[in-house]
């Protein structure tokens, strides 16, 4: 007998998605947290936008029972680790990250055996299972401040570019897991120099996930929030921006008269757009709120171990406004 076809009722997507999302958000008692690399319309309806540290801090102060996290998986996972009693949902469960995906926990655990006596410092762009193997978590805005507080041998994972930048800032060496971000490693030095020649008045600003040859050309280096503040506060009126292009939306809003030129990637592609971040769409935001799914879950044993290094990061950066403290090495 042929298997009967199971048909799921098609959901009608409302015409005015923004209004529909806002109404559902209220009905579901949800808060929307979004990273700066989200599509501009998602940023515009979020209750809170921030860099990874700010989003983690915000996740500790949410009152609503539902968190809709518009970012990538490790960010939503961090929110879940901090809020086990809340339902943490995402628009797309497949929105990953090349840094997190390139550092599988079993391999990482094996690699750590080579470094007994080291403090394990992991960039927040890693899985809950890797966080569970770490002593402290850092973000791009807090890495330098935290590592200044950790004397002695350090293992740093999984971003080799961020590690190299902090090493230069602190004149130290770490044992480094050699991961990279697919977006930030694609900026072309040659094309950037050409762009600088055409715009000699522009300041180059870059995220520390970029390779050293790009950072060496930058007037200012910082996390997404730090770059946003820099554009707003600097007396310059023109900037070449070497990071994911989503941040340009907030820069345009915060500094409307300023010229913002995206740094060019290596190929004729839109590689300065994170394919993971951009999996999230307004339709998926609507459906996530409608279904209260997909939900992010973390096994309790891993959650408890992963929470410790995140709490340590929050303690070690408590009360500090980190973005303006960063400067060029
Ligand atoms: P920040 O927003 O913390 O600078 O992180 C950038 C990034 O690549 C997030 O995935
Ligand atoms: Fe990961 Fe890079 Fe995308 Fe950020 S921009 S989520 S580091 S792949």
How many angstroms does the Cα of residue 15 sit away from the middle of ligand 1? 32
Q: Supply the pLDDT for residue 325.
A: 32
Look at the domain 17-94+278-297 and name its fold: Rossmann fold (3.40.50)
Q: From the CB of 317, is ligand 1 less than 6 Å away?
A: no
The DSSP-derived string for 21-80 is HHHHHHHHTEEEEEETTS-HHHHHH-SEEE-HHHHHHHHTT--SSEEEEES-HHHHHHHH
Give mean pLDDT, residues 173-192.
95
Q: Supply the pLDDT for residue 265.
A: 77
- The rounded distance, in Å, linking the Cα atoms of 181 and 125 is 9
User: Ligand 1: which atom is nearest the Cα of residue 97?
Assistant: 10
Instruction: Give the closest residue (by CA) to ligand 1 atom 10.
Output: 125
Q: Which of these CATH numbers, 3.50.50.60, 3.40.50.2000, 3.90.1710.10, 3.40.50.10800, describes 189-273?
A: 3.40.50.10800
Task: Assign 5 a pLDDT band (cuts: 50, 70, 90).
Answer: low
Instruction: Give the closest residue (by CA) to ligand 2 atom 2.
Output: 181
By the 8 A CB rule, do 41 and 282 touch?
yes
The pTM score is 0.93
Q: Check whether 23 has a pLDDT greater than 50.
A: yes
- The rounded distance, in Å, linking the Cα atoms of 278 and 296 is 18
The average confidence (pLDDT) of the chain is 93
Q: Check whether 323 has a pLDDT greater than 60.
A: no
How many angstroms does the Cα of residue 223 sit away from the middle of ligand 2? 12
Q: From the CB of 54, is ligand 1 less than 6 Å away?
A: no
Q: Check whether 326 has a pLDDT greater than 50.
A: no
Q: Check whether 109 has a pLDDT greater than 70.
A: yes
Q: Which residues line ligand 2 (CB under 6 A)?
A: 37, 72, 97-99, 125, 181-183, 209, 244, 274, 276-277
Locate the domains of the chain by residue range. 17-94+278-297, 189-273
Q: Supply the pLDDT for residue 68.
A: 98
Burial 192-225 (b: 16+ CB within 10 A, else e): beebbeeeeebbbbbbbbbbeebbebbbbbbbbb
Q: Supply the pLDDT for residue 293.
A: 98
- The rounded distance, in Å, linking the Cα atoms of 258 and 236 is 8
How many angstroms does the Cα of residue 21 sit away from the middle of ligand 1? 25
Give the model confidence (pLDDT) of 221-268 as tens digits: 999 999 999 999 999 999 999 999 999 999 999 999 999 999 987 766
């Amino acid at each position: 007998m042929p298997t009967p076809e199971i048909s799921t009722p098609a959901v009608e997507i409302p015409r005015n998605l923004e209004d529909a999302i806002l109404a559902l958000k209220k009905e579901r008692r949800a808060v929307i947290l979004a990273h700066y690399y989200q599509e501009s319309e998602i940023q515009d309806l979020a209750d809170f936008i921030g860099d990874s540290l700010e989003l983690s801090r915000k996740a500790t102060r949410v009152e609503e029972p539902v968190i809709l996290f518009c970012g990538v998986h490790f960010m939503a996972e961090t929110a879940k680790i901090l809020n086990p009693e809340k339902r943490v949902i995402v628009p797309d469960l497949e929105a990953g990250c090349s840094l997190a995906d390139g550092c599988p926990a079993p391999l990482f655990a094996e690699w750590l055996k080579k470094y007994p006596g080291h403090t394990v410092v992991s960039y927040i762009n890693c899985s809950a299972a890797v966080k569970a193997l770490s002593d402290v978590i850092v973000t791009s805005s807090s890495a330098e401040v935290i590592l200044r507080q950790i004397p002695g041998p350090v293992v740093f994972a999984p971003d080799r570019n961020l590690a190299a930048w902090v090493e230069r800032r602190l004149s130290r060496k770490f044992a480094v897991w050699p991961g990279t971000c697919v977006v930030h490693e694609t900026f072309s030095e040659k094309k950037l120099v050409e762009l600088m020649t055409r715009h000699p008045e522009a300041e180059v600003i870059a995220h520390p996930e970029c390779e050293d040859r790009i950072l060496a050309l930058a007037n200012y280096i910082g996390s997404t929030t730090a770059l946003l503040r820099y554009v707003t506060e600097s007396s310059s009126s023109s900037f070449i921006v070497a990071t994911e292009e989503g941040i340009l939306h907030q820069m345009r809003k915060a500094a409307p008269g300023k010229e913002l030129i995206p740094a060019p990637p290596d190929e004729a592609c839109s590689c300065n757009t994170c394919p993971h971040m951009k999996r999230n769409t307004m339709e998926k935001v609507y459906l996530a709120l409608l279904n209260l799914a997909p939900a992010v879950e973390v096994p309790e044993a891993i959650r408890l171990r992963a929470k410790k290094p995140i709490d340590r990061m929050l303690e070690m950066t408590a009360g500090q406004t980190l973005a303006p403290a960063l400067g060029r090495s």
